[in-house]
Amino acid sequence: MLKLSKLLFNQPIMSLRLGAQIGLAVEPIINPHNLKILGWWCKAPQASGQLVLLAEDVRQELPDGLAVDDDDELNSPEDLVRHREILDIKFRLNDKPVRTKSARLGKVKDYSYNEGMFIQKLYVERPLRKLLSADDTLIIDRTQVLEVTDEYILVRDGEVKASENEFATEALPAV
Summarised one tens digit per residue, pLDDT across range 7-24 is 899 999 999 999 999 999
CATH of residue 118's domain is: 2.30.30.240
Whole-angstrom Cα distance, residue 165 to residue 35? 28
- Tell me, yes or no, whether 127 and 147 share the same domain: yes
Tell me how many domains the chain contains.
2
Confidence of residue 165 (pLDDT cuts 50, 70, 90): very low
- Tell me, yes or no, whether 53 and 106 share the same domain: no
Q: Which pLDDT value is given to residue 64?
A: 86
- Tell me, yes or no, whether 79 and 132 share the same domain: no
- Tell me, yes or no, whether 108 and 167 share the same domain: yes
Strand partners, 37: 30
Any residues with CB less than 8 A from the CB of 38 and at least 6 apart, and which?
28, 29, 30, 31, 54, 55, 83, 86, 117
Residue 172 has pLDDT above 80, yes or no: no
